[in-house]
């Protein structure tokens, strides 16, 4: 067994349920590890020591009385600092919100607490959940390599989960920011169907694209966390009324007979060679497990990805209307440039970009006509080199379309995606494969992802 801090939610939950370890002991160990290591990794912006210990003691007392709530009861987790927490600052990575102390918990936080989870704190992120950081805030450090990208917006979530500073975390994904940190930091990342998880009490970036979901160290853990936070919310009219299924009910059924679509050109052309080889090898493993691999043709996604900045930046201006432009001096150069870009988008430009989005969604519907799941990389290369200057801005020229080739299309159509580690490259950096499902197919993604995961060895950074 790995050290406690690298064990999965599933493993630790069993120890807690059997009273072989207490939530207080687990929480104390995690808080001590944060105290020891997070000055180096900078994943937390706020550590909620008193609140965490109070929740751990309450969980311990309930479990002692036989009132066990389930797999998250007594498990220390953390959330991206755009999830509202009652009485605790929620800043969204921005100096403009440094005094923002919510009077209520966001729905996802409330649901984690209802499941008995212990909230360790709030995790660092890029400003406004975009690509760069405010100079007043720390940049999370990738635990695999200190000079490599940690995955942008939900970077604190990826770093904390990978480094054993929580057992699972919540991130958000508007253009890839659950999948990017999962891939860069070697964790599982689960982006649910748009609307499956309430966004009430979550600071927005672009509301028509924003998704909230978990980052964990196993597929089963991701399913456990997603099941806890999913469901209709009367406070979020965009949340779906569909019931929340048991995400793990069929997780051990394997992939025999499941139709998995694969477009070798889409998945391997013009991307990192080692990653391409790993993806092909992963598909071969799935076929050996009994999956039916079906050749599909994914249209060129790059012309659609390039309109994402128009949609996202314009919606970001709306999201920040209470502080932009009135407090523009409080924004860092990266995100201020993004907001200024959005303020210059015309109605006609937004309409054209939205039409392109609809066209992309239509193409993807056809791709999925005869398959259950699509497989492709989570991003086009392992974590790339970065410098503080690059991360703090000013706003750079936007990245090549291939950077978001495997993420943006599935934000456009709101499909669920599951990113799973698929080994290490020659530099010992994580590689990641992505499973994409039809709307509301999260349990099937857990089934496929878990079956694939059993063919791999767990990976942990040397920290």
Using CA atoms, how far residue 87 sits from 7, 102, 104, 320, in Å, is 31, 6, 7, 22
Q: Are residues 359 and 300 in contact, defined by beta-carbon separation less than 8 angstroms?
A: no
Length of the chain: 463
Catalytic site residue 378?
no
Q: What percent of the chain has pLDDT over 90?
A: 98
Residue 389 confidence (pLDDT): 84
Choosing from 80, 111, 191, 438, the catalytic residue is 80
What CA–CA distance (Å, rounded) separates 309 from 312? Answer: 5
Identify whether 459 is part of a domain. Answer: no
| Partners of 76 in beta bridges | 118
3-state secondary structure the chain: CCCHHHCCHHHHHHHHHCCCCCHHHHHHHHHHHHHHHHHHHCCEEEECHHHHHHHHHHHHHHHHCCCCCCCCCCCEEEEECCECECCECCCCCCHHHCCCCCCCCCHHHHHHHHCCCEEEEEECCCHHHCCCCCCCCCCCCCCCCCCECCCHHHHHHHHHHHCCCCCEEEEEECCCCCHHHHHHHCCEEEECCCCCECCCCECCCCCCCCEEEEEECCHHHHHHHHHHHECCECCECCCCCCCCCCCCCCCCCCCCCCEEEECHHHHHCCCCHHHHHHHHHHHHHHHHCCCEEEECCCCCCHHHHCCHHHHHHHHHHHHCCCCCCCCHHHCCHHHHHHHHHHHCCCHHHHHHHHHHHHHHHHHHHHHCCCCCEEEEECCCCCCCECCHHHHHCCCCCCCCHHHHCCCHHHHHCCCCEEEEEEEECCCCCEEEEEEEECCCCHHHHHHHHHHHHCCCCCCCCCC
Q: Does residue 300 have a pLDDT over 80?
A: yes
Work out the mean pLDDT of the chain and round it to a whole number.
97
Q: Looking at residue 349, which CATH number applies to its domain?
A: 3.90.1300.10
Per-residue pLDDT, 212: 98
Residue 362: inside a domain: yes
pLDDT, mean of residues 205-230: 98
Residue 462 lies in a domain: no
Q: What is the pLDDT of residue 400?
A: 86
What is the rounded CA–CA span in Å between residue 155 and residue 172? Answer: 10
pLDDT reported for residue 399: 79
352 noted as active-site residue: no
Query: Looking at the predicted structure, is the pLDDT value of residue 398 above 80?
Result: no
Burial zone of 294 (CB within 10 Å; 0-12 exposed, 13-18 middle, 19+ buried)? middle
Split at pLDDT 50, 70, 90, the class of 73 is very high
* Span 163-205, pLDDT tens digits: 999 999 999 999 999 999 999 999 999 999 999 999 999 999 9
Q: What is the pLDDT of residue 397?
A: 82
Instruction: For residues 279-293, give the mean pLDDT.
Output: 98
Q: For residue 435, is it within any domain?
A: yes
- What's the pLDDT band for 6 if we cut at 50, 70, 90? very high
Counted domains in the chain: 1
Provide the pLDDT confidence category of residue 67 given band limits of 50, 70 and 90.
very high
Of the candidates 97, 196, 147, the residue with the CA atom closest to the CA atom of residue 441: 196
Query: Looking at the domain assignment, is residue 354 inside a domain?
Result: yes
Residue 25 lies in a domain: yes
Angle between helices 219-229 and 9-17 (to 10 degrees): 70
pLDDT band at 388 (very low <50, low <70, confident <90, very high): confident
- Exposure of 146 by Cβ count < 10 A (0-12 exposed, 13-18 middle, 19+ buried)? exposed
Query: From the CB of residue 292, how many other CB atoms can be counted at a distance below 10 Å?
Result: 15
Domain that holds residue 195: 4-453
Which of the residues 172, 177, 198, 432 is marked catalytic? 177
* 426 φψ region: left (φ > 0), alpha (ψ -120 to 50), beta (else): alpha
pLDDT number for residue 112: 99
Residue 1 has pLDDT above 90, yes or no: no
- Candidates 22, 153, 154, 172; catalytic one: 153
- 170 HSE (CA, 13 A, CB side): 35
Q: Is residue 81 part of a domain?
A: yes
Q: Does 128 have pLDDT greater than 80? A: yes
**Predicted pLDDT of residue 298:** 98
On whether residue 64 sits in a domain, the answer given is yes
Q: Rounded mean pLDDT of 234-248? A: 98
pTM greater than 0.95 (yes/no): yes
Packed helices 347-367 and 308-319: angle between N→C axes, nearest 10 degrees: 120
Please work out, in degrees rounded to the nearest 5, the angle formed at the alpha carbon of residue 177 by the alpha carbons of 173 and 183: 130
Confidence of residue 237 (pLDDT cuts 50, 70, 90): very high
Tokens for 100, please give them.
């923002």
Please give the average per-residue pLDDT across 337-349, as a whole number: 98
Verify whether residue 153 is a known catalytic residue. yes
Considering the chain, what percentage of its residues have pLDDT values greater than 70? 100
């Amino acid at each position: 067994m790995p050290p406690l801090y690298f064990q999965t939610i599933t493993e630790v939950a069993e120890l807690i349920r059997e009273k072989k370890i207490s939530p207080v002991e687990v929480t104390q160990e995690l808080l001590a590890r944060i105290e020891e290591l997070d000055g180096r990794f900078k994943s937390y912006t706020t550590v909620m020591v008193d609140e965490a210990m109070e929740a751990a003691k309450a969980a311990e007392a309930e479990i002692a009385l036989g009132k066990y709530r389930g797999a998250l009861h007594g498990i220390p987790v953390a959330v991206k600092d755009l999830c509202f927490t009652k009485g605790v600052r929620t800043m969204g990575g921005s100096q403009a919100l440094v005094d923002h102390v919510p009077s209520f918990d966001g729905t996802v936080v409330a649901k984690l607490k209802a499941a008995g989870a212990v909230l360790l704190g709030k995790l660092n992120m890029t400003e406004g959940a975009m690509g760069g950081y405010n100079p007043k805030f720390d940049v999370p450090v990738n635990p695999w390599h200190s000079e490599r990208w940690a995955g942008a917006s939900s970077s604190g979530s990826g770093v904390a989960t990978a480094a054993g500073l929580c057992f699972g975390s919540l991130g958000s994904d508007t253009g890839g920011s659950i999948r990017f940190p999962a891939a860069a930091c070697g964790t599982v990342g689960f982006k649910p169907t748009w609307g499956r998880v309430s966004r009430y009490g979550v600071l927005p970036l672009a509301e028509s694209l924003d998704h909230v979901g978990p980052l964990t160290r196993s597929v089963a853990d991701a399913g456990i966390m997603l099941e806890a936070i999913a469901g209709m919310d009367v406070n979020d009219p965009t949340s779906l009324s569909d019931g929340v299924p048991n995400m793990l009910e069929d997780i051990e059924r394997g992939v025999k007979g499941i139709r998995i679509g694969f477009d070798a050109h889409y998945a391997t052309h013009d991307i990192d060679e080692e990653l391409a080889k790993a993806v092909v090898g992963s598909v071969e493993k799935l076929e050996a497990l009994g999956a039916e691999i079906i050749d599909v043709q994914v249209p060129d996604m790059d012309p659609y990805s390039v309109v994402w900045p128009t949609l996202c930046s314009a919606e970001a201006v709306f999201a920040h209307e209470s502080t932009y432009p009135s407090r523009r001096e409080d924004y860092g150069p990266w995100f201020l440039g993004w907001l200024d870009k959005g303020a210059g988008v015309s109605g006609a430009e937004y309409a054209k970009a939205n039409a392109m989005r609809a066209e992309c969604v239509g193409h993807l519907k056809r791709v999925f006509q005869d398959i259950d799941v699509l497989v492709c990389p989570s991003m086009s290369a392992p974590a790339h080199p970065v410098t503080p200057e690059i991360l703090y801005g000013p706003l750079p020229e936007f990245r090549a379309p291939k950077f978001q080739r495997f993420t943006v299309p599935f934000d456009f159509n709101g499909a669920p995606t599951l990113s799973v580690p698929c080994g290490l490259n020659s530099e010992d950096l994580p590689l990641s494969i992505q499973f994409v499902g039809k709307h509301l197919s999260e349990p099937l993604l857990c089934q496929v992802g878990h079956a694939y995961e059993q063919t791999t060895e767990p990976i942990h950074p040397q920290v």
